[in-house]
Amino acid sequence: MRHNKNFNHLGRKKAHRDALLANMTIALIMRKRIFTTLAKAKALRMYAEPLINRAKDDTMANRRLVFSYLQNKEAVTELFREVAQKIAERNGGYTRILKTGYRLGDNAKMCFIELVDYNENMLKEKGAKKEGRTRRSRRSNKAAAPVAEAPVAETPAEETPAAE
């Protein structure tokens, strides 16, 4: 029986799909952000996040298991050294998918997939939002505008008292 055994096959056989996801995971680890279709990004997230989670515990068994999936020494080293330090306190959700629109040729949904702790722009915006909170009133600014535009009597510069 096939109870709830469904995932996106991406129009490929198993060996081709595994190679595609392994190569995309290597690219994601090395470059921290890649541009791909939404379907591939969602499949990549399911493939890569358990491997990234393994990097929290730096043991020989975990290194060998991740290497059996990726087959790339540089990517495994980068994952266990650099990426593991950034994700040490995070419990999950190591990747973020940002939709960018549609591809011109075949109208496929395109997106960025990136490692969450490496996007400096998002980290800066998060800090800036907390500091710059403002309250907005329900009144519109149009009602207050005529009061602000009241004519001011002009006084010649010679008549103004000098500040001491």
pLDDT along the chain (164 residues), means of 10: 90 97 97 96 97 95 97 96 92 95 96 91 70 67 56 56 56
pLDDT at 135: 72
Q: Say which residue the tokens 């020989």 belong to.
A: 60
Can you give the pTM of this predicted structure?
Answer: 0.73
d(CA 115, CA 34): 10
94 by DSSP, 3-state: which?
A: coil
pLDDT of residue 79: 96
Class of domain 14-119: alpha beta
Helix/strand/coil for 92: coil
Q: Give pLDDT, residue 139.
A: 72
Query: Domain spans of the chain?
Result: 14-119
Phi, psi of 97 (to 5 degrees): -110, 125
pLDDT at 16: 98
What was the pLDDT predicted at 101?
Answer: 97
Q: What's the pLDDT score for residue 157?
A: 56
Q: Which residues make beta-bridge pairs with 109?
A: 102
What backbone torsions phi and psi does residue 101 show, to the nearest 5 degrees? 130, -150
